Amino acid sequence: MKKEMEISREIDISTDLGGIKLNNPVCAASGTFGYGREYEPYVDISKIGAVIVKGTTLEPRAGNPPPRIIETASGMLNAIGLENPGINEFLNTHLPYLRENNVTVIANIAGNTIEEYAAIAEMIEGNPGVAGIELNISCPNVKQGGLQFGTDPQMVYEVVKAVKEKTTLPVMPKLSPNVTDIVEIARASEAGGADALSMINTLMGMAVDINTRKPFLANIFGGLSGPAIKPVALRMIYQVYREVKLPILGGGGIVNYRDALEFLMVGATAISVGTGIFINPQLTEEIVSNLLHYMQENNVASLSELVGAAHQA
């Protein structure tokens, strides 16, 4: 313990994610950490880089019928269906708890229309204790025939722009990997005024129960997460880092500090862990501690030496 404290005094791992100040670069991904409370017995939640809370909508949502999850090779599929208590409940019940516990909070918001995203951002504005907004753009746009916001550059541009107009907080869309050209979506986010990018959301997939001969998930399709998607996430962040200047919160299947280093090296300014937390609730602090050791042993004085290192010839 004493050794760790000495190291952390020498090496600075605080970082800035497009205006979101983080004490360390390791965040808990939305939908994997609830509203923080659930993991209080296992980890000091105030020491996590940022807790990105469960995706929140204007009205409460019941979510999808079960089965909602199934494990697959080195990963899992989920189709939770955005179950959440709505923005009012978040602001009145969960945010005060997180504030009292000195947690760095990034709110994750989702909507059916551009107006809904803007309305939620407006409601968050002025509430102390929120450091930034992550936009879940993997939702269907009901006014555009259910086409996902995140798969259309024009809609991405519009939703980012609409949210930026209603908030003074840094805005970070979470890009869906289920697109042909991720760079195009990143550019649209930048044009809309995004302060950072969060990459990547889950990959759409499915599984079949061979006994019933039916799709395993009630929703048929689910989002694939876990180590299975890490190479895809790394590739996409590598591509975007070369073309877009925005800082990137990188994640997708991180389960240890070596994974975290790979994400920093392809260009992520900070990293998020999600599915890995289900296996190890102390993963965020373990990665921070191992990252510090790595940096000391390799004479790395600051994170900036690592970020994008894989791009140097």
Which positions are catalytic? Answer: 139
CB 54 within 8 Å of CB 108? yes
DSSP assignment of 174-225 equals: E--S-SS-HHHHHHHHHHHT-S-EEE--PEEE--EETTTTEESSTTS-EEEE
**Closest distance to another protein from the beta carbon of 83 (Å):** 5
**Closest distance to another protein from the beta carbon of 74 (Å):** 4
186 φψ region: left (φ > 0), alpha (ψ -120 to 50), beta (else): alpha
Q: Is 67 in the site for another protein (CB under 8 A)?
A: yes
**Closest distance to another protein from the beta carbon of 79 (Å):** 9
| Cα 189 to chain centroid, rounded | 16
Token couple for 101: 């516990």
Position among 89, 278, 286, 290 found at the interface with another protein (CB under 8 A): 278
Q: Is 70 in the site for another protein (CB under 8 A)?
A: yes
Q: Is 38 in the site for another protein (CB under 8 A)?
A: yes
> Rounded to an integer, what distance in angstroms lies between the CA atom of residue 173 and that of residue 160?
7
> Rounded to an integer, what distance in angstroms lies between the CA atom of residue 138 and that of residue 149?
6
Segment near another protein (CB under 8 A), from 145-153, 167-175, 189-197, 270-278? 270-278
DSSP assignment of 260-281 equals: HHHHHHHT-SEEEE-HHHHH-T
Beta-ladder partners of 132: 106
> Closest CB to another protein among 19 and 60?
60
Helix ranges (H only) for the chain are: 2-10, 87-89, 95-100, 114-124, 153-166, 182-192, 230-243, 257-266, 275-279, 283-297
**Closest distance to another protein from the beta carbon of 227 (Å):** 5
CB 188 within 8 Å of CB 153? yes
How many Cα atoms within 13 Å fall on the side-chain side of residue 258? 1
**Closest distance to another protein from the beta carbon of 62 (Å):** 6
Q: Is 145 in the site for another protein (CB under 8 A)?
A: no
Q: Is 69 in the site for another protein (CB under 8 A)?
A: yes
For Cα atoms 276, 282, 286, give the angle at the middle one, nearest 5 degrees. 90
Segment near another protein (CB under 8 A), from 138-146, 192-200, 278-286, 296-304? 278-286
# binding residues, another protein (CB under 8 A): 36
**Closest distance to another protein from the beta carbon of 225 (Å):** 10
Segment near another protein (CB under 8 A), from 27-35, 124-132, 161-169, 234-242? 27-35
Residue span 76-105 as binding mask against another protein, x where in contact by CB under 8 A, dash where not: x-x-x--x----------------------
Positive or negative: CA dihedral 223, 225, 229, 235: positive
Touching another protein, residues 282-301 (CB under 8 A):
282
Residue span 230-269 as binding mask against another protein, x where in contact by CB under 8 A, dash where not: -------------------------x--------------
Residues that bind another protein (CB under 8 A): 31-34, 38-39, 41-42, 54, 62-71, 73-76, 78, 80, 83, 226-227, 255, 275, 277-282
